[in-house]
Chains A and B, each alone.
Chain A
Amino acid sequence: MDVMVVVKESLHARPAAVFVQAVLDSGQAVGIARPGGAAADARSILSVLALDIRSGERVVLSGGSRDVLDRLAGVLA
């Protein structure tokens, strides 16, 4: 299961922390990647910050259930 989302706010420290906390709260192992790129562990703020996703970029969330991925996409959109 993959969900693609256009990121509204660049994933710098604060929004990345909010997103990672939402992933941790879901209890699922979710990955985040640029389209076609290697997935980073979305439970790791270090991994998410290292991706350096900018506002307006598309990312792919993977690995979780449909409803969890949709909810996480909503956090980013």
Chain B
Amino acid sequence: MVVTAPLTGVAVPLQGVPDPVFAQSLVGPGVAITPVARVQTVLAPIAGRLVKLKPHAFVVQGETGAVLVHLGIDTIQLDGTVSEPIAAEGQLLAAGDPVARWHPELVIEAGLNPVCPVIVLESSSRVVQILAEGPVEAGAPLFSWT
């Protein structure tokens, strides 16, 4: 299954995320994106149901797995101030459908790291195949997993 980039930025290995729980793939395997620091429309990384939508993170559950997009590190403390929902929890989405407007530049202003882990939840395999390294556009293939 191919996971597409939820936003535009630079794809970086999960090990580079400054949070050991994400960096050690404890949440799950995946890839992170350091976002371009301007307001962005965050897109669904796979087709499926938007089972959770919070200001700092969301989960799309597809037929063969679920993907978590975490909008920055420790951004739960900014809840509601740097993002606005576009989609609604429970909604069925196609890959690439808009989920939220998000302001990574305000995350940086708040002194936090806006890097976004894109994580497969409950994957049977612990590895993903990385499809993008370096600059990546929202909607482009990011990684795949089997």
Q: Mark B119-133, 1 if CB is under 8 A from A, else 0.
A: 101100000000000
Q: Given the complex, which residues of B lie within 8 Å of A52, measured CB to CB?
A: 52
Structural contact, B27 and A12, CB atoms closer than 8 A: no
Residue of B with least CB distance to A21: B26
- The verdict on A45 contacting B121 (CB below 8 Å), with A12-B76, A18-B26 known, is yes
Complex: how many Å from CA A14 to CA B66? 16
* Range, interface on chain B: 20 to 34
B76 neighbours in A (Cβ, 8 Å): 10, 12
> Number of contacting residues on A, CB 8 A?
13
B: residues with CB less than 8 A from A are 19, 21-22, 26-28, 51-52, 54, 56-57, 59, 61, 66, 68, 70, 76, 119, 121-122
Spell out A's residues near B (CB within 8 Å): 10, 12-14, 17-18, 21, 44-46, 49-50, 52
